[in-house]
Amino acid sequence: MENSESPQRFLTAAAAGLAGCRACGTANPGGARACTCCGSPLAAADPASLQRVWAWLAAGLIAYVPANVYPMLRTTTFGRTSENTLIGGIAELFSHGSYGVALIVFFASIVIPVAKFLAIAYLAVSVRRPAALGSHGRLMLYEVVEFIGRWSMIDVFVVAILTALVQLDFAAAIAPGIAAVSFAMSVAFTMLAAQSFDPRLIWNAESENLNDHA
Amino acid sequence: MHTDQLIACPTCDVLNRDQDVKPRTVARCARCGTVLAAPKSGAMTRIAMLSLTALILLAAAAGFPFLELRAQGLSHQASVLDAVLAFSSGPMAPLSLATGLLIVLLPAARYCALIYTLAPMALGWHPAPHAATAYRWAERLKPWAMAEIFIIGVAVALVKVSGLARVGLGPAFWAFAALLVVTILTDNAICRLTVWKTLRARSAS
């Protein structure tokens, strides 16, 4: 790590008795409650804020269970109704030979949500415990989670479009399944979990560990 | 040193000295590498114009026919509004509201806020009243404005039905495709801290 030689040369706003704004970067006088430049509420990096991260993450995880168990789509063709779950839909795309699209949906609805749960949990745990991944690595992980999280919403939009489009009376009709709701909630809750995580905690843990060793 | 000359890094809280940055160069936080300033000449004008373009495209995308499905002599047209209302019956109605917010209303609100904040600055005027509040909301709405994710969802849905029926693309489809490009261009042009710095300098003078 390039910063490991002399970590003491970095002075944080909090250490200098100032309150840094996370929206606009203004160094406000210490104890200020709202930023003088942009009006955003100011709060010091506090490990207690991780409770909010864990709460949103748990909500996202709970909502993810029915999203996988219940049907996402209900397709009626000539009077016969079939129900498709998330995984069932991917398997069908795969068996039709649309490997590229199957892969996109597989990533958006299975790989990314699960990886996101693990990544947020890892970030929250590593604030209090020494982590294998350095601060720069964890910051990158946080930025990837923030960037990629919203793309999981693709699945909900696919269901909305299919329902709106495939309405050919008797020949073919598609209706949404209840899993669409729980999937949308799961994505929204994990986005809130990622937004509740304060990236300044990544670095606070580092300086505390260094003080312990000194 | 006065605190006006310091920037507290939004990501890691380290104090950096606020230096004058030449256009097309980038100032980064000394510890975590977060971009602190990336001034580009004419960025304010570009963001305001791109936001206006996006707003027009969004209006076109919501109004014009979107997709048409033809099979066995039957045809069905769907607009973006139909996609929003897809969940409107029964217990899934709140999801309809959420979809409408995510793909039309929140992106529109974000672009309006960007134009409101940046157009007066592009023209060299003083910031409009409550410009700071408007810009703060534009930044907060950013992750929830999902128009560009919607168009990828459309692409996936098209592949799913292509075996079942023929699909015709309406003008709204192309408006959304163009919106995807404009959204990416806008997001690349915005440097959050530079906008705040300009807002602060203009309101003070």
* DSSP per position, A143-159: HHHHHHGGGGGHHHHHH
- Using the predicted structure, report yes or no on whether residue A3 has a pLDDT greater than 70: no
Residues A68-88: what's their mean pLDDT?
A: 84
Are A121 and A31 in a shared domain? no
Q: Which fold has domain B41-204?
A: Butyryl-CoA Dehydrogenase, subunit A; domain 3 (1.20.140)
Total-model pTM: 0.85
**Which of A9, A28, A44 is a domain's end point?**
A44
Helix (H) or strand (E) holding B137: helix B131-141
Please tell me whether residues A81 and A182 are part of one structural domain: yes
What is residue A8's predicted lDDT score, i.e. its pLDDT? Answer: 52
Asked if residue A206 and residue A122 are part of one domain, the reply reads: yes
* B148-to-A7, A9, B43, B184 alpha-carbon distances in Å: 41, 42, 22, 9
How far CA A3 is from CA of A202, A212, B13, B26, in Å, comes to: 14, 18, 15, 20
Mean pLDDT for chain A? 82
Together in a domain, A76 and A89: yes
**Cα–Cα distances in Å, from A80 out to A168, A169, B72?**
14, 13, 17
User: What contacts B13, CB < 8 A, 6 or more positions away?
Assistant: A12, A13, A14, A20, A45, A200, A203
Q: What percent of chain A has pLDDT over 90?
A: 19
pLDDT single digits (tens) B116-158: 988 888 887 878 888 888 888 888 888 898 888 888 888 888 8
Pair A150, A208 in one domain: yes
Q: Are residues A118 and A155 in the same domain?
A: yes
Closest to B13 (Cβ–Cβ): which among A14, A167, A168? A14
Q: Which residues 120-179 of A have a C-beta within 8 angstroms of B?
A: 135-136, 139, 146, 149-151, 153-169, 171-172, 176, 178
Question: What are phi and psi for residue A103, nearest 5 degrees?
Answer: -70, -40
Q: Which long-range contacts (CB under 8 A, 24 or more apart) does B174-179 make?
A: B175/B57, B175/B58, B175/B60, B175/B61, B175/B64, B176/B57, B176/B61, B176/B66, B176/B80, B176/B147, B176/B150, B176/B151, B177/B151, B178/B57, B179/B54, B179/B57, B179/B58, B179/B61, B179/B147, B179/B148, B179/B151
Is some CB atom of chain B closer than 8 A to the CB atom of A105?
yes
Same domain assignment for residues A40 and A50 = no
Question: In terms of CA atoms, which chain B residue is nearest residue A146?
Answer: B143
Per-residue pLDDT at A78 exceeds 70: yes
Touching B: A residues 57-86, CB under 8 Å: none
Q: Do B153 and A98 touch (CB under 8 A)?
A: no
Q: Looking at the structure, tell me whether residues A135 and A37 fall in a common domain.
A: no
Closest approach of B1 to chain A, Cα-based (Å):
12
Token pair for residue B155? 């692409």
* pLDDT (0 to 100) of residue B1: 54
Residues 6+ apart with CB under 8 A from B86: A159, A160, A161, A163, A164, A176, B96, B99
Domain ranges of chain B: 1-39, 41-204
| In the predicted structure, residue A106 carries a pLDDT above the cut 50 | yes
Residue B168's alpha-carbon distances to A107, A110, A155, A161, B172, in angstroms, are 28, 30, 22, 14, 11
**Judgement on whether residues A168 and A125 belong to the same structural domain of the protein:** yes
If chain B, 205 residues long, is cut into consecutive pieces of 10 residues, what is the mean pLDDT of each piece? 77 82 81 81 85 90 82 78 78 82 90 89 81 87 88 84 80 88 87 82 71
Query: Given pLDDT bands bounded at 50, 70 and 90, which one contains residue A116?
Result: very high
B174 and chain A in contact, CB less than 8 A: no
Q: How many domains does chain A have?
A: 2
Mean pLDDT (whole number) for A57-80: 88
The confidence score (pLDDT) of residue A60 equals 94
Print the domain residue range for A10.
1-44
Structural contact between residues A206 and A110, judged by C-beta atoms closer than 8 angstroms: no
* Same structural domain, A16 and A112: no
Six-digit token string for A145: 């989670």
pLDDT mean over A13-29: 82
Of A44, A61, A77, the domain-final residue: A44
Shared domain for A5 and A110, answered yes or no, is no
Mark whether A58 and A88 lie in a shared domain. yes
Give the CA angle between residues B53, B123, B191 to the nearest 5°. Answer: 65
- Half-sphere exposure of residue B150: CA atoms within 13 angstroms, side-chain side: 33
